[in-house]
């Protein structure tokens, strides 16, 4: 279990994200319609956007606190960020992508490659990979940086169904065996149900519901429809 303190206000033009949550979770899902501010929350955690006020702390480490004048640079935040558009470095092969941010830690190169089934892809360039393969490489790249938390923004968007199961299995192992806490942005209730133990439903930049996925999701889905 990791403690999440997400208590901040972030303005982007007319759009305001305002959340105030303290929770314990192994995997926190941000669920809601597109354009609701889920990605903004993830980017605020990564330090790619700066909140105007509040606190962001994960697993006991304060990443941002306006009050205490703390704003850890993105470089030092130790977040493994897998953005929606994946963004593998196009000029590097898979191996160099995976090892780009290598930091000594709990997962070895071989273990990550095996976990995500990448042994056959190491010499390939990102342009020659399928959506699912890219997703797994991005996950490996994030893992190799020995992150304190993994931020996954719709990691299944470009992945076909059979692959989804395999990636989900890998994520569960990352969560349970490597004990890396996850923040998981998703549209699909099935994914959320399998992976998350706490869900925040976000709409128009605000949390409209929270709870364990079992009881919460049917309600949230009904509300969305």
Partner 1 sequence: MTGDAAEIALFTAATATAATLLMLVPGVALAWLLARRRFPGKAVVETLVSLPLVVPPVATGLLLLWVFGRRGPIGRLLDGIGVEVVFTWRAVVMAMAVMGLPLLVRTARAGFEQVTRRYEQIAETLGAGPWRIFRTVTLPLASRNILAGALLGFSRALGEFGATIVVAGSIPGRTRTLAVGIYSYTETGQDRQAAVLLVVSLALAFTAVLVSNRLAGES
Residue with Cβ nearer partner 1 (83 or 189): 83
User: Shortest Cβ distance from residue 176 to partner 1 (Å)?
Assistant: 23
Give the residue with the Cβ less far from partner 1, 54 or 126. Answer: 126
Nearest to partner 1 of 55, 97 (CB atom): 97
> What is the rounded distance in angstroms from the CA atom of residue 178 to the CA atom of residue 223?
35
- Nearest to residue 77, comparing CAs of 26, 28, 42, 112? 42
CA dist 54 to 20, 51, 204, Å? 9, 7, 19
Rule CB under 8 A: which residues touch partner 1?
Answer: 46, 48, 73-81, 83, 85, 87, 89-91, 100-101, 103, 141-142, 145
Q: Give the whole-angstrom CA distance, residue 81 versus residue 84.
A: 10
Residues 186 and 218 sit within 8 Å (Cβ to Cβ): no
CB of 222 to partner 1, least distance (A): 35
Quote the least distance from Cβ 91 to partner 1, whole Å. Answer: 5
| Cβ atoms of 51 and 65 closer than 8 Å | no
Contact between 21 and 7 (Cβ < 8 Å)? yes
For the CB of residue 178, give the shortest distance to partner 1 in the complex, in Å. Answer: 17
Q: How far is the CB of 84 from partner 1 (least distance, A)?
A: 10
Pairing of strands 149-153, 79-82: parallel
Closer of 147 and 213 to partner 1 (Cβ): 147
| CB of 44 or CB of 220, closer to partner 1 | 44
């Amino acid at each position: 279990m990791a403690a999440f303190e997400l208590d901040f206000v972030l303005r982007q033009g007319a759009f305001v994200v305002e959340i105030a949550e303290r929770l314990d979770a192994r995997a926190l899902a941000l669920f809601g319609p597109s354009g609701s501010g889920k990605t903004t929350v993830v980017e605020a955690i990564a330090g790619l956007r700066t909140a105007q006020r509040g606190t962001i702390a994960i697993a006991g480490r304060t990443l941002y606190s306006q009050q205490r004048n703390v704003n850890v640079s993105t470089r030092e935040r130790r977040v493994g960020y897998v953005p929606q558009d994946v963004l593998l470095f196009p000029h590097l092969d898979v191996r160099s992508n995976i090892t780009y941010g290598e930091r000594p830690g709990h997962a070895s190169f071989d273990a990550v490659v095996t976990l995500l089934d990448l042994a056959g892809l190491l010499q390939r360039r990102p342009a020659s990979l399928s959506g699912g393969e890219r997703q797994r490489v991005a996950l490996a790249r994030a893992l190799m940086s020995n992150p304190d938390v993994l931020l996954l923004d719709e990691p299944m968007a470009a992945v076909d169904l059979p692959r989804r199961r395999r990636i989900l299995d890998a994520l569960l192992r990352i969560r349970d065996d490597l004990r890396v806490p996850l923040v998981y942005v998703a549209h699909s209730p099935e994914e959320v149900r399998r992976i998350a133990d706490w869900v925040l439903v976000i709409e128009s930049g605000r949390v409209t519901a929270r709870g364990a996925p079992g009881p919460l999701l049917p309600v949230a889905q009904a509300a969305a429809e």
